[in-house]
Amino acid sequence: MDIQTDHRYAINLNVRGIQPSATLRINELSNQLRSEGRDIVKLGLGQSPFPVPERVVAALREHAHEKDYLPVKGLKSLREAIAGYINRRERMRCNWEDVLIGPGSKELLFMLQLAYYGDLLIPRPSWVSYAPQARIIGRSVHWLPTHAENNWQLTAEELDIVCRDDPSRPRILILNYPSNPTGCTYTEDQLLAIANVARKYKLILLSDEIYGEVHFEGKHKSIARYYPEGTIISTGLSKWAGAGGWRLGTFIFPPELRPLQNAMAIIASETYTATSAPIQHAAIAAFTGGDDLDEYLKQSRRILKVVGEYLHRRLTAMGAVVQKPEGAFYLFPDFSGFREALARRDIKTSQALCQSLLEDTGVAILPASDFGFVPDHLAARLAFVDFDGAEALKLAGEDYADQELEDDFVNQACPRLVKAMDKMEQWLTSL
């Protein structure tokens, strides 16, 4: 008897019906298509195109032998470096004991929702993993409306409307800026107004500032300046130091939320134990900073700004409606103006739009439905990262060191992004 085919021995697999992360899914699909010989322009996964700074790589090499289990909350010297980094950048007075280290800010966010029993408030559009994490844990998600006319920014008024009906309800508000997926950010006045509402309702405010250092003008400011007692700052190495695969993130807590930090550390002790020792030792170099890292960030920002502005112009000329990015490496174009033409090809959802674009042109982008919108919202996120970041940094720092970066730089340093725009323009024209 073949036990494998005998239904009497079948196992009842009661498995959650969940999907993999949209960004990781599109990256794996893009890599698969490339391995099959397709010319794919990868604008799906938001991975920094720039290399890890050499001094940080050297620090990892130097500490590769470190093998001990480190303290659950993180290496003290790293926590001190991060506290110093935040205090320099934000003119705050946080202490090393306020810092929690984890294997990526994504894992820390997951633990936060495990430790704190509250609803999750997410401005729409949002990064792809906020809401799925809440659903996995069993938390309620409340989407906060935003509007293209306001650069997809949450307003204090909209936040107040959501909170006022049940003012004492425990809630976590996630604010991500510069934004994934839009590249837009907040003014100081907007942050102050939101902070006042958060204080009024005693919200836990998670300020996801993973893209703070790639604000194009280097002028990012944390909302923790205006609501210090209730704000957790989230950052890491992935976006500004090019070290996404290193998996190191950090939360910086106010002293008032120390019990929450301790609860998360207990969860960490029973799950991942500690973040990789060599990575933590190496990260000290990144957060300590220095002239070399300042130059790295200066050139990174110059490059991302000129690329973002170039793509914004190209997409606008095609007929898409898109906000000009102010940081990060994303654009969120809306193709609703092509709705009738797309419908003639039976393309009626953002998922179908992105699938057809990938099949027809090899350009991989992500549908708006992955960022909190209904399926027929015909927008998509474009991550402008498919270029050689090391070569772009060299070109910007040498050949273009004393001049403004313009379209000729983009053509020279980012030919695959230019190709993507050409292909998208031809595709939209052919509808």
Between CA 140 and CA 147, with CA 146 as vertex, the angle to 5 degrees is 155
65 vs 18, more confident: 65
Q: Please report the pLDDT score of residue 30 as a whole number.
A: 75
Helices (H), 91-187: 105-115, 130-137, 156-164
132 vs 335, more confident: 335
Retrieve residue 230's tokens. 């209730």
| CB neighbours of residue 334 within 10 Å | 18
Strands of 314-412, DSSP E: 330-331, 363-364, 366-367, 380-383
Among the residue ranges 87-96, 193-202, 281-290, the one predicted with the least confidence is 87-96
Q: Please report the pLDDT score of residue 29 as a whole number.
A: 73
92 vs 335, more confident: 335
> Residue 122: what are its φ and ψ, rounded to 5°?
-130, 120
Q: For residues 403 and 399, what is the distance between their CA atoms, to the nearest angstrom? A: 9
In this prediction, residues 376-381 reach a mean pLDDT of 96
Secondary structure of residue 121 in the 3-state scheme = strand
In this prediction, residues 8-15 reach a mean pLDDT of 58
Q: Please report the pLDDT score of residue 13 as a whole number.
A: 58
Whole-number Cα distances in Å, 393 to 50, 147, 216, 387: 8, 35, 15, 11
Report the chain's mean pLDDT, rounded to a whole number: 93
Contact criterion met (CB below 8 Å) for 363 and 377: no
Helices (H), 323-388: 339-343, 350-361
Q: Please report the pLDDT score of residue 39 as a whole number.
A: 86
- Name the pLDDT band for 116 (thresholds 50, 70, 90): very high
Residue 20 in this model has a pLDDT that exceeds 80: no
Neighbouring residues of 314: CB distance < 8 A, sequence distance ≥ 6: 421, 425
Strand order in the sheet with 171-176: 99-102, 249-252, 231-236, 204-208, 171-176, 119-123, 141-144
| CB neighbours of residue 128 within 10 Å | 21
Q: Please report the pLDDT score of residue 23 as a whole number.
A: 60
pTM of the model: 0.92
Burial 41-65 (b: 16+ CB within 10 A, else e): bbbbbbbbbbbbbeebeebbeebee
Secondary structure of residue 395 in the 3-state scheme = helix
Whole-number Cα distances in Å, 279 to 96, 143, 204, 330: 18, 35, 29, 27
Q: Please report the pLDDT score of residue 24 as a whole number.
A: 64
Retrieve residue 157's tokens. 């008024």
> Residue 81: what are its φ and ψ, rounded to 5°?
-65, -40
Sign of the Cα pseudo-torsion (81, 82, 83, 87, in order): positive
Residue 18 in this model has a pLDDT that exceeds 70: no
User: Domains in the chain, ordered, with CATH?
Assistant: 22-48+292-430 (3.90.1150.10), 54-288 (3.40.640.10)
Q: For residues 386 and 377, what is the distance between their CA atoms, to the nearest angstrom? A: 26
DSSP string, 142-161: EEEP--GGGTTPPPHHHHHH
Secondary structure of residue 232 in the 3-state scheme = strand
